[in-house]
Every structure is written in structure tokens, then in C-alpha cells.
């Protein structure tokens, strides 16, 4: 019994090393003075030189700004749509077209990105021909494309959260005469709020990171941050990309840590409330 | 389960996202299908309409030329088979590495579990592109791995690691490992330890108990994880472009090159349709497995 535990634990540690060594190496080398990414220039390191290079690169700043705007819009719209779809799938029982909706919300998650990108571009071209909109490709087409695949992820997050709650609270509110919309706003939404926030963050990250779909539906002159990184990286390793990676990893890591702590805090408080309520009933 | 009262506005709640997905997910595939049957031409957009009107009568012009091209040029077939092989081998490696990891987390202490899960999910939240890029720095000829091996005296000349099958597999396994671990963990965590104790009481050795109790029970998790890795890996574009071989490209890159470099929209659409045909069965399987995992637990 013990030996098997040892094997899987060793595998876990090695697996985590495998997952984190590349990220750590980028962080370390972002402070390296040398242009050669892999040679550590001990005499002049650590240095913030590449962070300076990064922030004076107008192309990177413009692209980051575009990515930020697209990601905020795409995350917001896809969270609304995904919450609707997740609620319908988890709470409406069997309805006509349910399996179609299930299919359309799971398929985008696994669909190879080249196919999603190509099909969306062809849609926009066809629309432009037919109704004259959208006029050319740019921020709008990128946002529309991102909403579609982000909402699939949000739907899954919301649906599995709702599946974890039974419907007794909602049914009690209904029996007391609350209208469906009120039940949703006062009961369902507060219950799934952590999932809604998690869904928004997930959608934001997916949109912020997307390269392939954006490449298809972005017009000339509208490059998102991953597109700029990709064109830099294809030409070879560049040290300022390490600096960018370090910044992005720090933001994400601190965000995830704070979110986890907050959720745990909420969970603890809820458990304590339940215990107090139980004690009060005795 | 009590039947929910019929709510007004329910149609809207389900209908709005359904309509969105129909417009931005379903219809685009029909357009891809349509263009794959049309003829390429030098125009904007660079394909001929499927139906032309002659004296008020519709005249269909369906061309199979792009498919003929795809089936006769061995380049496409090779790239197609290569992609399937790369995706399959990567899936097996993800399973071999991910299963023990998921098992250790599921059997680990309560207080460690959420922290370890966070460690697994964290890379998933950071840029996929940058994580793939990090491997270039590690694998290149004067990269970290070669420097360490040279320093240890294990090799005397740098080994070419980048732009080989090896680096391609590293990149895919590395990027998709969380997709394997999470469904496996979700499955393993639900197992009742009493079953293993019962097996031990009946005299089963740990390995036998694992093979006869845990493994069969975790098959849905294995299926879900493997499909979540295999399906997107077949059409992977970024990893083979940055880490893969230059003499053998994967089908996703083929599609992109046909579209952007050759501007042959019908052939690119044909490639997309052929990838989809390959993935239809795995995608349907995945939906079935996920429905069981998500909804089957209550009955």
C-alpha cells in the first residue's frame, strides 16, 4: 500500500517540476543582461533592462491595449450568454433542442482552433458580401469570434456549479410566490456568483491568450498581443518576451491565489453559518 | 425530480445563447462545407459561387476539385496520418504522466488537495503561447538542457532537440497535461475507498486491487481526458509551428498555409471538412462521456 503511494507521489512531484521549470526559466532569464537568452551574464545581472525595452515598444503596448479591450468585451458578453445557457441546461429539465444546445456548447471547447478561425472568417466574409457588415476585419470581428468560444467554457462552469445545488431553495421561493425572474436574481444568481466570476475570469484569460482564431479574423493593422508575440518568437528567442511572460505570470498567479483564498474564506464562513444555524435550532 | 413549473421567458433564456451559437458556430460550418465544393478563382473573395443563374434558372456548379486534389496529392495524406499519430502518441503520454498525478492528488490529504489542484490549473491560466515559447529556450542547441547535459559530461556536443518529433511531443504533452489530469481527478476523487479496503480484505494485493477495482472504475475519466487531449491536438497549429519538424507539417498548419499563403480557400475548407470528419466520432463520444459524468451521478 505504501509503495504505491510513493510511486504516484513521486510522479506528482516530477510532473509539477515538468509543468513549472519552463515558466521559472522564463522568469529567471527575464532578469538576464545578455542578449543570448540562455547565457547568464553574471557580471551585469540581474537587470530590468528587458522590462524597459518592453515598455518602450509601441507595437507591444498598442497590441496589449487592443487585447485588453477585446478581452473585457468578450468576457462580459460571453459570461451573460454562458450564464443563460448554463441555467437552461441545468434547470430546465428536458426541452426541445436541448441536445443541440449541449452539442453547440461543448464542441467549441475541443474544436481545433484553425477550423473555428477559418469558419468564422468565412462567415464574416459572407456576411459582408450579403449585408455589407462587418466592414472589414478588426476589433469587432475578433471580439465576436472570442465570445463564441468563451461562452462555451462559461456554460460548462455555470452548469456544473448549478448541478452541485439542489433546486429546493428555488422551489421554496417559487412556492412563496416569487416570480421566476425574481427567483433568479434573488436566489439563483447569488448562489452561482462565484461561478459567474470564475467564468468571467476564464473567458477573459482565454480571449487574452487566443492566437489562432484572432489571426484568421483580424484585419491588417489590428494585431492582438499574442499575434505580436508570435511574430517575434517565430523569428527566434527574444529576451523582452521573457519579461512580458514574467509580468503576465505574476498577474495571473497573484489573481488565482487571491481568488482561491477568497473562495476558501467564503466556504468557511458558510460552513460556520450552517453550524450556527444548526446550534440555534437545538 | 419534481417537474419545474413552466416559466414564461424560458424560451428566451435558452433561445438567446442558442441563436448566438447557431449564427457564430453552426452556420459557419455550413459555409465551410459550401466553399469546399466551389471552385477557386482569382477574385475577392477567391471562390466561385455554387449556383449561377442562367435565364432565370438556377445552375448548380458543384466542384469536387479540392477534394480530388486532397486525395491524390500524397503530401496531404501524409500530413493527415502524421497528425493522427502525433495526437495519439501525445494522448498516451499525457495519460501515463497524468494518471499517477491525478491519483496522488485524489488520495492526498484534504488540506493539500485544493493547493495541488491550483498548481495544476495555474499554468492553464497563463499564456499558452508563452509556455510553448519557454521550451524553445530550454531545448535549443545552447539551451538549458544541452548546457546541463554538457556540464555533467553526459554529452560532448550539443544534441539537436528543437524542431524534432521529440520537441513536438514535449510541447503537446506539456500544454495538454492539465486537460488530462482534471477529468481524471474528478473521477478518482469520487471513488469509495471502502471498495479498495474490501478488495484488500478479500486478499487482493495492491496492484491487483488497482487493476481490478480502481482502473475499471476510472475508465470514464480516462476516456474524457484522452478525448480532451486528442481532439484539439489533431488540429494543433502553434506547437508544431514553433517546436515541430520543418520537413513534416501537421494538418492544422497545412490548412493555415493553404489559406494564408496559397490563398486557396476551397482547398483550405476541404482540409477543414476532412479534419472534422475525423473528429466527429471522438466529439460525439466526448459528449456522451461528459453527460454521464455530469448528470449520471445522481440517478
For residue B115, what is its C-alpha cell? 493547493
pLDDT at A92: 84
Binary contact (B129, A148; C-beta < 8 A):
no
pLDDT bucket at B299, cuts 50 / 70 / 90: very low
pLDDT at A4: 55
Within a domain: residue B271? yes
Q: Domains in chain A: how many in total?
A: 1
From the list A159, A226, A256, the residue facing B122 with the nearest CB is: A256
Average pLDDT over residues A231-257: 86
Asked whether the predicted pLDDT for residue B13 surpasses 80, the reply is yes
Counting every residue written for chain B, the total comes to: 299
Asked whether the predicted pLDDT for residue B2 surpasses 70, the reply is no
Within a domain: residue B25? no
Within a domain: residue A228? no
Within a domain: residue B257? yes
DSSP-based helix, strand, coil % in chain B, nearest 5: 70, 5, 25
For every residue of chain A, DSSP letters joined together read -HHHHHHHHHHHHHHHHHHHHHHHHHHHHTT---SSTTS--TTT-S--HHHHHHHT-HHHHHHHHHHHHHHHHHHHHHHHHHHHHHHHHHHS-S-TTHHHHHHHHHHHHHS-HHHHHHHHHHHHHHHHHHH--S-SSSHHHHHHHHHHHHHHHHHHHHHHHHHTS-SHHHHHHHHTT--HHHHIIIIIHHHHHHHHHHHHHHHHHHHHH--HHHHHH--TT---HHHHHHHHHHT---HHHHHHHHHHHHHHHHHHHHHHHHHHHHHHHHHHHHHHHHHHH-
pLDDT bucket at B3, cuts 50 / 70 / 90: very low
Binary contact (B142, A151; C-beta < 8 A):
no
pTM of the model: 0.88
Average pLDDT over residues A132-144: 88
| Most confident residue range from A88-102, A169-183, B25-39, B62-76 | B25-39
Report the CATH number at residue A86: 1.10.3720.10
pLDDT bucket at B294, cuts 50 / 70 / 90: low
The end-to-end CA distance of chain A, in Å, is 43
Question: Nearest-CA neighbor of A144 among A208, A215, A217, A201?
Answer: A217
From the list A19, A84, A115, the residue facing B16 with the nearest CB is: A84
Within a domain: residue A43? no
Report the CATH number at residue B122: 1.10.3720.10
User: Domain range holding B78?
Assistant: 68-298
| Chain A nearest CA to B78, separation (Å) | 19
User: Domain range holding A81?
Assistant: 65-223
Within a domain: residue B23? no
Asked whether the predicted pLDDT for residue A206 surpasses 90, the reply is yes
pLDDT bucket at A85, cuts 50 / 70 / 90: very high
Q: Domains in chain B: how many in total?
A: 1
pLDDT bucket at A37, cuts 50 / 70 / 90: low
Contact A196, A158 (CB under 8 A): yes
- Chain-centre distance of CA B91, in angstroms? 9
Asked whether the predicted pLDDT for residue B64 surpasses 70, the reply is yes
Average pLDDT over residues B130-135: 92
For residue B1, what is its C-alpha cell? 425530480
| Most confident residue range from A46-50, B138-142, B231-235 | B231-235
pLDDT at A210: 95
Which residues 120-179 of B have a C-beta within 8 angstroms of A? 120-123, 125-131, 133-138, 140, 142-144, 147, 174, 177
For residue A206, what is its C-alpha cell? 482565454
SS3 B99: helix
Average pLDDT over residues B52-72: 78
B100 close to A (CB below 8 A): yes
ipTM for this model = 0.86
Chain B partners within 8 Å of A127 (Cβ): none
Average pLDDT over residues B203-225: 89
pLDDT at B297: 46
Asked whether the predicted pLDDT for residue B296 surpasses 60, the reply is no
Amino acid at each position: 500500500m505504501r509503495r504505491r503511494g510513493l510511486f504516484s507521489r513521486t510522479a506528482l512531484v516530477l510532473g509539477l517540476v515538468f509543468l513549472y521549470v519552463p515558466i521559472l526559466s522564463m522568469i529567471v532569464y527575464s532578469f538576464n543582461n545578455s542578449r543570448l537568452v540562455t547565457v547568464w551574464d553574471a557580471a551585469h545581472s540581474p537587470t530590468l533592462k528587458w522590462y524597459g525595452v518592453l515598455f518602450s515598444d509601441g507595437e507591444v503596448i498598442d497590441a496589449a491595449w487592443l487585447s485588453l479591450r477585446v478581452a473585457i468585451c468578450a468576457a462580459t458578453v460571453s459570461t451573460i450568454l454562458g450564464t443563460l445557457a448554463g441555467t437552461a441546461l441545468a434547470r430546465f429539465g428536458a426541452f426541445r433542442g436541448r441536445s443541440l444546445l449541449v452539442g453547440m456548447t461543448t464542441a467549441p471547447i475541443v474544436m481545433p482552433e484553425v477550423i473555428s478561425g477559418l469558419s468564422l472568417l468565412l462567415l464574416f466574409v459572407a456576411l459582408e458580401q450579403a449585408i455589407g457588415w462587418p466592414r472589414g476585419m478588426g476589433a469587432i470581428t475578433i471580439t465576436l469570434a472570442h465570445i463564441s468560444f468563451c461562452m462555451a467554457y462559461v456554460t460548462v462552469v455555470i452548469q456544473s456549479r448549478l448541478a452541485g445545488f439542489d433546486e429546493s431553495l428555488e422551489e421554496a421561493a417559487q412556492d412563496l410566490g416569487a416570480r421566476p425572474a425574481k427567483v433568479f436574481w434573488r436566489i439563483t444568481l447569488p448562489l452561482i456568483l462565484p461561478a459567474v466570476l470564475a467564468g468571467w475570469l476564464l473567458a477573459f484569460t482565454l480571449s487574452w491568450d487566443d492566437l489562432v482564431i484572432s489571426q484568421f479574423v483580424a484585419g491588417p493593422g489590428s494585431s492582438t498581443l499574442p499575434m505580436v508575440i508570435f511574430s517575434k518568437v517565430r523569428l527566434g528567442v527574444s529576451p523582452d518576451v521573457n519579461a512580458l511572460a514574467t509580468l503576465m505570470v505574476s498577474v495571473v498567479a497573484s489573481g488565482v491565489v487571491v481568488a482561491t483564498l477568497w473562495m476558501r474564506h467564503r466556504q468557511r464562513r458558510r460552513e460556520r453559518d450552517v453550524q450556527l444555524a444548526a446550534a440555534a435550532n437545538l | 425530480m419534481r417537474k419545474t413549473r413552466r416559466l414564461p421567458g424560458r424560451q428566451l433564456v435558452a433561445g438567446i445563447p442558442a441563436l448566438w451559437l447557431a449564427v457564430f458556430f453552426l452556420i459557419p460550418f455550413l459555409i465551410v462545407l459550401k466553399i469546399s465544393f466551389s471552385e477557386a478563382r482569382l477574385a475577392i473573395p477567391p471562390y466561385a459561387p455554387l449556383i449561377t443563374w442562367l435565364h432565370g434558372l438556377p445552375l448548380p456548379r458543384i466542384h469536387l476539385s479540392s477534394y480530388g486534389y486532397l486525395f491524390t496529392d500524397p503530401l496531404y495524406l501524409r500530413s493527415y496520418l502524421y497528425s493522427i499519430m502525433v495526437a495519439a502518441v501525445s494522448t498516451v503520454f499525457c495519460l501515463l504522466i497524468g494518471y499517477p498525478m491525478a491519483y496522488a492528488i485524489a488520495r492526498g490529504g484534504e488540506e493539500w488537495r485544493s493547493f495541488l489542484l491550483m498548481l495544476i490549473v495555474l499554468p492553464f491560466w497563463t499564456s499558452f503561447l508563452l509556455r510553448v515559447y519557454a521550451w524553445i529556450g530550454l531545448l535549443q542547441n545552447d539551451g538549458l538542457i544541452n548546457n546541463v547535459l554538457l556540464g555533467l559530461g553526459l554529452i560532448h556536443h550539443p544534441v539537436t532537440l528543437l524542431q524534432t518529433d521529440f520537441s513536438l511531443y514535449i510541447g503537446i504533452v506539456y500544454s495538454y497535461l492539465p486537460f488530462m489530469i482534471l477529468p481524471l481527478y474528478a473521477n478518482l476523487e469520487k471513488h469509495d475507498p471502502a471498495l479498495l479496503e474490501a478488495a484488500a480484505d478479500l486478499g487482493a494485493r495492491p496492484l491487483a486491487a488497482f487493476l481490478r477495482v480502481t482502473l475499471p472504475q476510472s475508465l470514464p475519466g480516462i476516456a474524457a481526458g484522452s478525448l480532451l487531449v486528442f481532439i484539439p491536438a489533431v488540429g494543433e497549429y502553434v506547437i508544431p509551428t514553433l517546436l515541430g519538424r520543418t520537413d513534416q507539417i501537421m494538418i492544422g498548419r497545412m490548412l493555415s498555409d493553404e489559406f494564408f499563403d496559397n490563398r486557396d480557400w476551397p482547398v483550405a475548407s476541404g482540409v477543414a471538412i476532412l479534419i472534422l470528419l475525423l473528429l466527429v466520432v471522438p466529439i460525439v463520444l466526448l459528449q456522451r462521456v461528459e453527460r454521464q459524468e455530469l448528470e449520471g451521478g445522481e440517478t
